Structure 1
Amino acid sequence: MARILILANSDIGLYKFRKELVEKLVMENEVYVSLPYGDFTTKLEEIGCKLINTAISRRGTNPITDLKLLTNYIKIIRNIKPDVVLTYTIKPNVYGGLACRINDIPFLANITGLGSALENRGLLQKVTLFLYRASLKKASCVFFQNKENKEFLLKNISISNYRLLPGSGVNIEDYSLLEYPPQDNINFLFIARIMKEKGIDQYLEAAEYIKGKYPNTTFHILGPCEDAYEGELEMMQEKGIIQYHGMQSDVKKFQRLSHCTIHPTYYPEGMSNVLLESAASGRPIITTNRSGCREIVDDGINGYIVKQKNGKDLIEKVEKFLNLDYEAKRKMGLQGRGKVERDFNRQNVVDAYSKEIKKITNK
C-alpha cells in the first residue's frame, strides 16, 4: 500500500467534488487528508481517510499566516512520509508544493482557478507567479481545469508534465437527469457564495426587472453570505423579488423545481461545478463568457452566454429564455445533459489521477 497525503482548503469541496477519487484511493492506499475541520469531516473519516486539522486563511494575504501554513505542511509531510501528495486550490498548491519540494516528495497539483491575485496585473500577480514558479517546478504533474488557465501558467512558468481535465467532472449517476418541472411559475436558481465577483449584483438587477415584468417568476438564491449583502437580500426578499435560502447541503431539491440556473460570475473559475451539476440535472444555464463557464455552454443550444458584469445583457438573455415555449426549454436542458455525459464525466478525472499516481508509486 502506498501512503497518500491530500492537502485541501475545504472539507465540503473535497467531499462533494472529489469523493469518487478519494474512495478509490482509500481502497488501495493509506490516505491522509489535511484541511480545516468542518461539517463534512466525519463523512471523509467514514470513507476511510485519516484527518489532520489544518487552519487555512483561504482569502487572506497575511505573510505570517501563510508562513505558518508552510511550516505546518513541512511538519505534516515529515511526520507522515507520504509516497505522493495531492494538492488542490491556490494555497495548498503553493505552500504544499513548496513543502513537497523541500522534502523531495512527489506531488500532483490541481489548478482549480487562478484566483484574483493572478487575474489582475500588478505586484501581487508578480509575487504569486514567483510562488507558483517555486512550488510547481518539481511537480510530478500539474492538472489544469481549463485551457485559459493552462495557457497563462505555461506562458509564465516552466512545467514539465501537465494534463487538462474536464474540471472536477460530475458524477452523472449521482446527478441524474431530473424531470423538467411544469411552467405555471418559472424558477431561476443562483448557487454560489454571495460575493460581488460571483455576479450577485447582476443577478439581483435582473431579478428586480424581470419580476416586475413577469410576475410568474421566482428568483432563488443559495449560498453563504461572504460580502455585506445581508441587508439587501433581506429587503428584496420582503418585497417578494427573491427567495434567499442561505447555505444548503441538499441542492438537488432546488434543482428539481428550477427551470434554469443563472451563474453570472466573473470570479476566476477553474471549471464551474454549479454549471456542471445543473447541466447534468437537465437544466438550461445562463452564464458569463469566461473560462470555466463558457466551456459548459453551447450558446443557444443548452443555455446562453452573457457579457461579464453586464446586467442589461443578462436581462436580455433571461427574457429570451422566458419567451421559449415549454418544449424548447426542456430540450435545452436535455442538450446540457448530453454534453456533460460526453465531455465532463468525473470518472475521466479519477482515471487520470490513477494513472499519474501509478507512475509515481509503481503500484
Structure 2
Amino acid sequence: MKFVFFANTDWYLYNFRLSTARRLQAEGHEVVMLSPPGEFGARFASQGFRWISLGMDRASLNPLRELLTVHALVRVLAEERPDVLHNFTLKCAVYGALAARLAHILATVNAVAGLGFVFTSDSAKARVLRPLLKLMLRATLGSKRSLLILQNPDDASAFLDARLIGAEKIRVIRSSGVNTARFHPVYRHEQNEHGRLRVLMASRLLWEKGVKEFVDASSLLHAAGRDIEFVIAGTPDSGNPHAVAAAEMQNWTDAGLVRWLGHVDDMPALLNSVDVMVLPSYYREGVPKCLIEGAACGLALITTDRPGCREVVSQDGIDGLRVEVRNARDLAEKITRLDDDRELLSKLGLRARQKALAHFDERRVIQQTLDVYDELLYPGALKHAPEAPASRARRTVISQ
C-alpha cells in the first residue's frame, strides 16, 4: 500500500514523522513525503523515501495563490493515488482533506498538534481569520472515510465545543512520540555535586512559547548573582507572524543573558549536557516535543499549566514544576528552587523519565497511529478486536 505524508514543512516530517514512515516501510509499504521546499527534503532519499516538493506558502493569505496550491495538491494526489493521505497541521489538514475529495482518495487522516496562531492569537488578523477557518474545518474534516487525530483532550473539547467535527471522528494520541532508546539519561557527577545549573529552552522561537519570559528570568537571576547558564536551541519561524527575530536573539546573546545555539541536529547530546528543560509556553500546544524529549533524557521539567504542556507535567512537584503564564519572576523562582535542591532536581528527572517510558514512547504512538489507519482501511473489521490482534490483522490484510 501507499501512504502520503503531507506537512507544511519538510523539517516537521523529517523530525517528527520519520519513525512512523520507517515502520510502514519495514512492513512493505511505500511512503511518500510531501511538503513545501526546504533544506531537509533532500535527506529523505538517504532514508529510502521519495519526497515531493509542493509550491505552498504556509503564511500566504492570497486567495488566488491558495487556489493554485490546492490545484497543485489535487494533481499530485491524482498522480500518486495513495491508499492513505495523512495530513499534519491545520492548513494541511484543510487543504489535504479538500484535495483528497477532489482526487477521490478514500482514506484521509488529519493530524492537528495544537490549534496554532489563528486560534491562540488575539490579533486583528487572527480574529478575522478564525470564523473562516472554522467554516473550512467544518466543510472538510467530516468526510466519511476520514479521522482527526489530536494530541490532548483539551483540543478535542475545543473542536467539539466549536462543533467543528463529531466526537466519533476524533482520536486522541498523546504526542508524536519519542525514541526512548535514543533519548535516554546519562549520569553526570557534577549535577549531584552542586555544579553550575544548565537550563535549556528548545522550541520554535515564537513569543507565545515564552521566549521573553525565559530571557527575563535569566536577567533576574544574573542580577541576583546566580551562576546559572541559560541555553536556547531553535530558529526563528519565518512563517509565523509572532516569530522572535534573529536580531533580538543576537542582542540577548551579546548581553550575556543566553547562549543561543540555533538549530541543533544532535538533540540527545545537547539534552545530556543540561539539567532542566523549560517551556514557559502560553501557546496552544499539542504535546510539546521538547518536553517529552527532555523527560526521556531524565531532565527536570518546568512548564505551564496550558493545553499540551499539562499532559507532560500533570502534577506540580511530582513529575515537574509548573510556572505561571507570562511570569518571568515565578519562572526565576522555580529555577532557583532546583538550583538549591539537587535532590528534587534528580527526583523530578527520574519521574519524568518514567512517564516518558509509560506514555510517550514512540513505539506506542506509532502503533496507535497505525491502528487509526486500520479503522479507515477496513471499516468495521477491527471494531471489537483487541489492540495487539488488530495490529496483526492489518499486516495480514494489507499484504494480500
TM-score range, shorter chain: over 0.9
Structure 2 residue 114 is the aligned partner of structure 1 residue 108: no
Residues 149-200 of structure 1 show CA distances to partners (whole Å, capped at 9, x for unaligned) of 1111122223342211011111111212222451321111111222211111
Query: In structure 2, what is the equivalent of residue 8 of structure 1?
Result: 7
Query: What residue is the counterpart of 2:185 in the other structure?
Result: 177
- Relative to the length of structure 2, the TM-score reads 0.85
**Aligned partners of 2:34 and 2:103: how far apart in 1?**
17
CA contact (8 A) 1:9 1:36 kept: yes
* Preserved contact between residue 181 and residue 256 of structure 1 (Cα < 8 Å): no
After TM superposition, give the deviation of residue 37 of structure 1 in Å: 3.4
Show the 5 A alignment for 1:189-268. 189-226=200-237, 227-268=243-284
Q: 1:152 aligns with which of 141, 147, 158?
A: 158
Report the CA distance between 1:230 and its aligned residue: 3.4
Is the CA contact (8 Å cut-off) linking 1:180 and 1:282 kept in structure 2?
Answer: no
CA gap 1:267/1:37 in 2 versus in 1, 3 angstroms: same
RMSD: 1.9
Deviates more, 1:8-17 or 1:284-293: 8-17
2:348 is aligned with 1:340: no
**How far apart are the structure 2 equivalents of 1:346 and 1:19?**
11
Task: Measure, in 1, the Cα distance between the counterparts of 2:181 and 2:316.
Answer: 25
Deviation larger for 242-251 or 274-283: 242-251
The question of whether the paired residues in 2 share the 8 Å contact of 1:181 and 1:259 is answered with: no
Looking at structure 1, the residues matched to 184 and 20 of structure 2 have their Cα atoms a distance apart, in angstroms, of 19
Distance 1:200 1:135, change over 3 A: same
Please, which moves more after superposition, 57-66 or 337-346? 57-66
Question: Number of aligned pairs?
Answer: 361
The equivalent position to 1:161 in structure 2, one of 145, 159, 169, is 169
Q: Verify: 1:128 aligned to 2:133, yes or no.
A: yes
Q: Which moved more, 1:64-73 or 1:123-132?
A: 64-73
1:64 is aligned to 64
List per-residue Cα deviations over 1:274-325 (Å, max 9, x = no partner).
Answer: 000001100011111101111101311232111212222212222222221x
Greater Cα offset, 78-87 or 171-180: 171-180
Mapped partners of 2:104, 2:98: distance in 1 = 10
SS at match of 1:286: strand
Shift of 1:239: 3.1
Structure 1 letter corresponding to 2:215: L
Measured against aligned partners, the alpha-carbon deviations of 1:320-339 in whole angstroms (never above 9, x if no partner) come to 22221x23211210110001
Shift of 1:259: 1.0
- Deviation larger for 271-280 or 295-304: 295-304
Query: In structure 2, what is the equivalent of residue 299 of structure 1?
Result: 316
Distance 2:89 2:321 in 1: 28
Could you tell me whether the CA contact under 8 Å between 1:168 and 1:349 is conserved in 2?
Answer: yes
Could you tell me how far 1:120 is from its partner in structure 2? 5.1
Q: 1:56 to 1:268 in 2, by over 3 A?
A: farther
1:33 aligns to what? 33
Q: Secondary structure at the match of 1:108?
A: strand
Which residue of the partner structure matches residue 336 of structure 2?
319
Q: Is the deviation greater in 194-203 or in 37-46?
A: 37-46
Work out whether residues 181 and 257 of structure 1, in 8 Å CA contact, stay in contact via their aligned partners in 2. Answer: no
- Secondary structure of 2:17's aligned partner: helix
Give the 5 Å matches for 1:266-281: 266-281=282-297
Provide the TM-score with structure 1 as the length reference.
Answer: 0.93
C-alpha distance in 2 between matches for 1:124 and 1:223? 28
- 8 A contact 1:87–1:108 mirrored in 2: yes
Matched, 1:187 2:230: no
Cα distance between partner residues in 2 of 1:162 and 1:179: 41
> What is the letter of the counterpart of residue 52 of structure 2?
I
**Pair 1:147–1:238, CA change in 2 (3 A):** same
**Per the alignment, in what secondary structure is the counterpart of residue 245 of structure 1?**
strand
**C-alpha distance in 2 between matches for 1:239 and 1:261:** 22
Contact 1:180/1:330 (8 A) holds in 2: no
**How far apart are 1:82 and its partner, in Å?**
1.4
Amino acid of the residue matched to residue 129 of structure 1? Answer: K
Letter in 2 for 1:111: V
Cα separation, 2, equivalents of 1:237 and 1:177: 28
Aligned AA for 1:15? Y
- Match status 1:282 vs 2:298: yes
User: Any gaps of 5 or more consecutive residues in structure 2?
Assistant: 238-242, 378-396
Distance across 1 between alignment mates of 2:256 and 2:117:
34
Moved more, 24-33 or 59-68: 59-68
* Higher alpha-carbon deviation: 155-164 or 303-312: 155-164
Is the 8 Å Cα contact of residues 175 and 360 (structure 2) preserved in structure 1? yes
